[in-house]
Amino acid sequence: MESILKGLAFVLQPTTLLWIVVGDIVGIFIGALPGLTATMGLALFLPITIQLDSLTGIALMLGLYFGAVTGASIPAILFGIPGNPNAIATVLDGLPLARKGQAGVALGGAVIASLIGGLISTMALLVASPALARFSLLFGPAEYFALAVASLTIIASVSGTSLLKGVVMGAVGVLLSTVGIDVMTGAKRFMFGNPYLANGIGLVPVLIGMFGITQALEDAARPGGVGEMVTQRLGRLFPRLAQLRRMWRIILESSWIGTLVGILPGAGASVAVMLAYERARQLSERPAEFGSGRLEGVIAPEVANNACIGGGLIPTLTLALPAESAAVPILAALVIHGITPGPLLFSFQPHFIYAVVFTMIVANVTTCAFQLGGIRLFVKALSVPPAMLTPLIIVLSVLGAYALNGWIFDAAVAVGAGVGGFFLKRAGYPLIPLILGLVLGGMLESEFRRAMIITGGDLSVFVTRPLAALLLAVGAISLVRQLAVQRRPAAGHVR
Amino acid sequence: MSRSALVAVGVAIAGLGVLALLLAGSIPVLHVRGDPGPRAVPVVSAVVVAAGATGAAAADLRRLPQGERISPASLVVALATVACVLFLSRLGFVVATALFVALVSLYLDRPRRHPLAAHLAVAAGAAVGLWLIFGRLLGVTLPAGPLGF
């Protein structure tokens, strides 16, 4: 009880609240700007947190983290550009909702979903950390490989009208992920003597290009464009309570998907949001409408991506193992401040854990409050005629890609991805599987090869290990089901 | 897109797969017991791409043309975007951005609904505003042209 009160007392101090708010606002700004990721923001602010005491520094970082993850939904819904990779799935139904004049409902729904997901995973952090940490240890190379394959096959089967084209795009993504220096052997692959490709094709430039520039090129052909529709018809800001109540199962399952996937090191929010999206589609009363503006298609991934924050902090705090890149600066901040993450943290410094938990609750709530309060402001700031908005989106996309490393090469990759993505999309080749292949290809290959090294080349490991077999079966079922749906006369499909 | 354009895209992707397969042959294979090596995943994914895209192109060949034709506006904006990146270093960020925004917005605003001054103001404002935010506030080193910005 003393530890709980100590933790609560810390959070209620005015300086703590101030720094959480600063983190929120900066985080929302970072999340809403394509090219600026949560990881980048956290790394940029690490020097500032060092000047503060340990808990205040962590409070700033958590505010920034929540802000960036939640803020990424703004451009995803309004422009079809995910501010972060964790908002990929939000685009699928968020942009169509905005086009139908329900941008407000989508934005408000995304914020509420983020709040719920963040709160549930925070409770999981508090209650189930040791057990969940043990669950994460069950995942070996075979399971990670199977998880990557399952994610890719699920998304290939839900994106677009042609299953074959979805699979091809997933394979293109995996192929592109092999560009660069092989981390295991140092072999150079598809580099053509270009040193910029040593670390592979950048995910963020491709993401920005395929979502931002591709969308802008499509909008160039549309007289009204997106911007005009969005600014004229923001409409109501919240989904109806009855709508949210009907989604209770989607919300609950998405939060668990986000929490569980979040604790798996390397898996990342982009996997969680896709799994949550697919699960929401299975649970929905109208699965065929996914991709054309179903609110569940926004709620599920937004619940999951915020749930990943709490989930991701579990291995970070209990095992000193950052679950994804954004947790690395947080871990660094802990170590710099002399706090040793690990199982003993719960025993010897429980007040720290409670302080982190209460900080996460406050950061989650204040982020959502600021974002909700600012929705009309964001949209008002974007009340630019479509003819002017299109080149602005392109410039922002190019600049976002350039800003990563200061390389023109990244800007060129974004433009290449954008123009290529435009033609692919028009030809019916979905882009999401390609992006996910690029995201997961590295993990898929490295875990497959690790599994093979461990077993001496025995492929049966993927069926003899129950979790791996289960995950592969889930992927296979998704493919078979989509094949059956496409063969039916009035096929239901996602855009 | 027309049927021939759909098939062309499929053939192009299949060609990419075949090219990747050929190039993958030059990836060195370094043996560690059990490790399939750095060539395995590129080869498998290239085969899936080549075979899958060929199948998709064949399926498109049997289909009726679908969807709209590609608008000339999209193609013009795509070319302008490529040109903007090519000239970014030579002209500098501010000049290249202002030119790009002004020219593209004027092109898209046909028939003209907004005055020329509005287009120029937005172009200049965007270029300078982004330079201030990214270049000054966030500390990103932006390409500087002959004018120093």
Cβ separation B74–A456 shorter than 8 A: no
Sign of CA dihedral A103, A105, A110, A111: positive
> DSSP string of A15-28?
HHHHHHHHHHHHHH
Instruction: Answer whether residue A236 shows pLDDT above 90.
Output: no
Cβ separation B74–A164 shorter than 8 A: no
Q: Tell me what pLDDT residue A380 has.
A: 65
Residues of B in contact with A174 (CB under 8 A): 41, 45
Q: Tell me what pLDDT residue A90 has.
A: 92
Residue A251, classified by CB atoms within 10 Å of its CB into exposed (0-12), middle (13-18) or buried (19+), is buried
User: Which of these, B18, B144, B142, B40, lies nearest to A450 by C-alpha position?
Assistant: B40
- Identify the residue with better confidence: A136 or A256: A256
User: Which of these, A214, A222, A211, A221, lies nearest to A99 by C-alpha position?
Assistant: A222
What is chain B's length?
Answer: 149
Give pLDDT tens digits for B35-91: 889 999 999 999 999 999 999 999 888 876 665 678 889 999 999 999 999 999 899
**Amino acid at site A58:** I
Instruction: Answer whether residue A34 shows pLDDT above 70.
Output: no
What value does the mean pLDDT take over residues B5-15? 92
Q: Tell me what pLDDT residue A495 has.
A: 38
Instruction: Answer whether residue A45 shows pLDDT above 80.
Output: no
Instruction: Answer whether residue B1 shows pLDDT above 90.
Output: no
Give pLDDT tens digits for A388-420: 888 988 998 888 888 878 899 999 999 999 999
Q: Tell me what pLDDT residue A225 has.
A: 47
Phi, psi of A369 (to 5 degrees): -65, -45
Closest-CA residue of A relative to B71 is: A221
Residue A466, classified by CB atoms within 10 Å of its CB into exposed (0-12), middle (13-18) or buried (19+), is exposed
Helix ranges restricted to H, A52-102: 54-71, 73-78, 88-99
Contact present, A382 and A230 (Cβ < 8 Å) = yes
**Amino acid at site A158:** V
Residues of A in contact with B43 (CB under 8 A): none
Contact present, A29 and A70 (Cβ < 8 Å) = no
Helix ranges restricted to H, A178-247: 203-208, 214-220, 225-232, 241-246
Residues of B in contact with A402 (CB under 8 A): 88, 140, 142
Contact present, A98 and A285 (Cβ < 8 Å) = no
Cα distance from N-terminal residue to C-terminal residue, chain A: 52
Both B53 and B106 in one domain: the answer is: no
Both B24 and B57 in one domain: the answer is: yes
Residue B143 within any structural domain of the chain: no
Residues of A in contact with B113 (CB under 8 A): 385, 387
Residue B148 within any structural domain of the chain: no
Cα distance from N-terminal residue to C-terminal residue, chain B: 41
User: Which of these, B12, B18, B17, lies nearest to A173 by C-alpha position?
Assistant: B17
Q: Tell me what pLDDT residue B51 has.
A: 96
What is the C-alpha to C-alpha distance for residues B19 and B43, in angstroms, rounded to an integer? Answer: 11
What value does the mean pLDDT take over residues B126-148? 86
Count the Cβ atoms, other than its own, within 10 Å of residue A109: 26
- Using DSSP's 3-state secondary structure scheme, residue A444 falls into helix
User: Which of these, B42, B68, B88, lies nearest to A427 by C-alpha position?
Assistant: B68
Count the Cβ atoms, other than its own, within 10 Å of residue A233: 14
Q: Which of B62, B86, B102 is the endpoint of a domain?
A: B62
Residue B144 within any structural domain of the chain: no
Most confident range (mean pLDDT) of A97-111, A264-278, B8-22 is B8-22
- Full-model pTM: 0.74
Q: How confident is the model at residue A88 (pLDDT cuts 50, 70, 90)?
A: confident
Both B15 and B49 in one domain: the answer is: yes
Residue B123 within any structural domain of the chain: yes
Q: Which of B62, B84, B111 is the endpoint of a domain?
A: B62
Compute CA B146 distance to the chain's CA centroid, rounded to the nearest angstrom.
27
Nearest 5°: the CA angle A167, A173, A174 is: 90
Both B58 and B77 in one domain: the answer is: no
What is the C-alpha to C-alpha distance for residues A359 and A204, in angstroms, rounded to an integer? Answer: 29
**Amino acid at site A164:** L
Q: How confident is the model at residue A381 (pLDDT cuts 50, 70, 90)?
A: low
Contact present, A89 and A82 (Cβ < 8 Å) = no
How far CA A432 is from CA of A152, A173, B111, in Å, comes to 10, 9, 35
Both B47 and B85 in one domain: the answer is: no
Q: What is chain B's mean pLDDT, rounded?
A: 89
Closest-CA residue of A relative to B104 is: A391
Both B93 and B47 in one domain: the answer is: no
Both B54 and B78 in one domain: the answer is: no
Residues of B in contact with A444 (CB under 8 A): 41
Q: Considering CB atoms only, which of A168, A395, A403 is closest to B97?
A: A395
Both B47 and B81 in one domain: the answer is: no
Q: Tell me what pLDDT residue A307 has.
A: 93
- Using DSSP's 3-state secondary structure scheme, residue B120 falls into helix
Residues near A480 by Cβ (< 8 Å), separated by ≥ 6? Answer: none
User: Which of these, A332, A490, A385, A361, lies nearest to A12 by C-alpha position?
Assistant: A361
What is the C-alpha to C-alpha distance for residues A329 and A312, in angstroms, rounded to an integer? Answer: 13
Q: Tell me what pLDDT residue B69 has.
A: 76
Most confident range (mean pLDDT) of A194-203, A258-267, A339-348, B8-17 is B8-17
Q: Tell me what pLDDT residue A276 has.
A: 92
User: Which of these, A402, A87, A453, A449, lies nearest to A273 by C-alpha position?
Assistant: A87
Give pLDDT tens digits for A284-316: 888 888 888 999 999 999 999 999 988 888 877
Q: What is chain A's mean pLDDT, rounded?
A: 83
Both B42 and B77 in one domain: the answer is: no
Q: Which residues pair with A181 in a beta bridge?
A: A188
- Domains held by chain B: number: 2
Residue carrying structure tokens 């925004």: B101
Instruction: Answer whether residue A190 shows pLDDT above 70.
Output: yes
How far CA A204 is from CA of A42, A287, B146, in Å, comes to 17, 30, 30
Q: Does A160 touch chain B (CB under 8 A)?
A: no
Residue B76 within any structural domain of the chain: yes
CA distance B148 to chain A (A): 16
What value does the mean pLDDT take over residues A465-481? 87
Listed by number, the residues of chain A in 436-475 with a beta carbon closer than 8 Å to a beta carbon of chain B are 441, 444-445, 448-449, 452-458
- The percent of residues above 70 in pLDDT, for chain A, comes to 88
Q: Tell me what pLDDT residue B66 has.
A: 60
What is the C-alpha to C-alpha distance for residues A10 and A31, in angstroms, rounded to an integer? Answer: 27
- The percent of residues above 90 in pLDDT, for chain A, comes to 23
Q: Does A412 touch chain B (CB under 8 A)?
A: yes
Where are chain A's structural domains?
A: 2-487
Domain that holds residue B29: 3-62
Q: Which of B13, B37, B62 is the endpoint of a domain?
A: B62
- Identify the residue with better confidence: B23 or A393: B23
Residue carrying structure tokens 């997961």: A440
Cβ separation A453–B33 shorter than 8 A: yes
Q: Tell me what pLDDT residue A226 has.
A: 45
Give pLDDT tens digits for A107-166: 999 999 999 999 998 888 878 766 766 666 778 899 889 888 887 887 777 666 788 999
Per-residue b or e along A375-391, where b marks 16 or more CB atoms closer than 10 Å to that residue's CB: beebbeebebbbbbbbb
Both B55 and B83 in one domain: the answer is: no
Q: Tell me what pLDDT residue A223 has.
A: 57
Residue B145 within any structural domain of the chain: no
Listed by number, the residues of chain B in 80-139 with a beta carbon closer than 8 Å to a beta carbon of chain A are 81-82, 84-85, 88-89, 93, 97, 100-101, 104-106, 108-109, 113-114, 118-119, 122, 126, 130, 134, 138
Instruction: Answer whether residue A85 shows pLDDT above 80.
Output: no
Q: Tell me what pLDDT residue A489 has.
A: 60
Q: Tell me what pLDDT residue B99 has.
A: 95
Instruction: Answer whether residue A283 shows pLDDT above 50.
Output: yes
Q: Which helix (H) or strand (E) holds A420?
A: helix A408-426
Q: How confident is the model at residue B133 (pLDDT cuts 50, 70, 90)?
A: confident
Count the Cβ atoms, other than its own, within 10 Å of residue B31: 9
CA distance A171 to chain B (A): 5
Phi, psi of A188 (to 5 degrees): -90, 130
**Amino acid at site A195:** P
Give pLDDT tens digits for A429-466: 988 788 878 878 888 999 999 999 999 989 999 999 99
